[in-house]
Amino acid sequence: MLERLPDASERTLREHWDRIESQLHAGVDYVKGIDTDPRTNRRSSASFRALKRTVRELDQYARAMRWVMTVTEPDPTE
Instruction: Please state, in angstroms and rounded to a whole number, the distance separating the CA atoms of residues 71 and 73.
Output: 6
What is the residue extent of each domain of the chain?
12-71
Taking the mean position of all CA atoms in its chain, how far away is CA 56? 8
**For residue range 4-22, what is the model confidence (pLDDT) as tens digits?**
999 989 899 999 999 999 9
Instruction: Please state, in angstroms and rounded to a whole number, the distance separating the CA atoms of residues 51 and 24.
Output: 12
pTM for this one?
0.79
Under the banding of pLDDT at 50, 70 and 90, the label for residue 78 is low
**For residue range 18-37, what is the model confidence (pLDDT) as tens digits?**
999 999 999 999 999 988 88
Sign of the C-alpha dihedral, residues 14, 9, 59, 47? Answer: positive
Taking the mean position of all CA atoms in its chain, how far away is CA 70? 16
Nearest to 3 by CA among 27, 19, 15: 19
